[in-house]
């Protein structure tokens, strides 16, 4: 989950946009900075137009952004698979009658999956709760702390909604790659979403690097829905 909530200056956005075209590693670094710099502006704009729409928070954690969705959207569905974190999420959103909390992971098929907590979870539950992942290869998890959690098929879930999705936030610690690939091959679901803001984790799950680069190239010029893969 990103720490920043303040939108960057127009000059900074312009500078990053200019430097992102630089070749090689420099250009890639500024491409990421540019994407990150506009995410909060896009999030706010999406919420402003979602009064009669649904907000979906995949990887809600403790509810920082779920709360903002709940204040703007008709209804919000928040998915959080870790039992400890889901309990805190419920407490943090107590009083919001337009939020449904699903204690479940999200995927491309229903079932059960093993969830691994961050290696420092026992030292600081709240801070480390952000890093739980279904990927044992993620560099900061402890494979000895795995717990089985329920998985919800996102495509089936989205197709069953009675309203369109104004904003879809995805921060699911590596599982976003499979989900985004499936979404891009499901035009009927994409047509019901205004904006997707997702974090990728190829820096922690190195085997995903090529797939993430392919996803970024694929969505770079998409306008409907708008997809920002720099929610980190």
Looking at residue 172, which CATH number applies to its domain? Answer: 3.40.50
Full-model pTM: 0.86
- Mean pLDDT computed over 153-176: 96
The bridge status of strand 193-198 relative to strand 105-107 is unpaired
Residue 161 in any domain: the answer is yes
- Mean pLDDT computed over 170-175: 94
Residue 2 in any domain: the answer is no
CA distance linking residue 75 with residue 72, whole number of Å: 9
Cα angle value 56/62/68 (rounded, 5°):
50
Residue 42 in any domain: the answer is no
β-pair partners for 106: 152
Residue 27 in any domain: the answer is no
Our count of domains for the chain comes to 1
Could you list the residue range(s) of the whole structural domain that residue 125 is in? 51-228
Residues 6+ apart with CB under 8 A from 189: 155, 158, 159, 183
- How do residues 181-205 score in pLDDT, each as one tens digit? 999 999 999 999 999 999 999 989 9
CA distance linking residue 44 with residue 124, whole number of Å: 30
Residue 40 in any domain: the answer is no
- How do residues 21-48 score in pLDDT, each as one tens digit? 888 888 888 887 887 777 878 888 899 9
Residue 28 in any domain: the answer is no
Residues 6+ apart with CB under 8 A from 156: 110
Residue 118 in any domain: the answer is yes
Residue 22 in any domain: the answer is no
């Amino acid at each position: 989950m990103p720490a920043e909530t303040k939108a960057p200056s127009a000059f900074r956005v312009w500078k990053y946009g200019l430097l992102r075209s630089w070749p090689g590693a420099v250009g890639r670094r500024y491409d990421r900075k540019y994407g990150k710099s506009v995410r909060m502006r896009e999030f706010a704009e999406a919420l402003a137009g979602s009064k009669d729409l649904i907000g979906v928070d995949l990887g809600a954690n403790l509810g920082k952004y779920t709360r903002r969705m709940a204040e703007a959207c008709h209804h919000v569905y928040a998915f959080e698979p870790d039992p400890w974190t889901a309990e805190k999420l419920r407490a943090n959103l107590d009083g919001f009658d337009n939020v449904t909390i699903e204690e479940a992971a999200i995927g491309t098929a229903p079932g059960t999956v093993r969830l691994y907590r961050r290696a420092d979870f026992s030292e600081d539950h709240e801070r480390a709760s952000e890093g739980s992942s279904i990927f044992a290869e993620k560099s900061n998890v402890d494979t000895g702390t795995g717990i089985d959690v329920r998985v919800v098929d996102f495509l089936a879930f989205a197709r069953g909604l009675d309203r369109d999705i104004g904003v879809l936030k995805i921060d699911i610690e590596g599982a976003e790659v499979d989900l985004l690939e499936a979404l891009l091959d499901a035009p009927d679901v994409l047509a019901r979403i205004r904006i997707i803001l997702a974090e990728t984790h190829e820096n922690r799950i190195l085997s995903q690097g090529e797939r993430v680069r392919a996803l970024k190239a694929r969505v770079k010029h998409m306008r409907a829905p708008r997809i920002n893969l720099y929610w980190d």
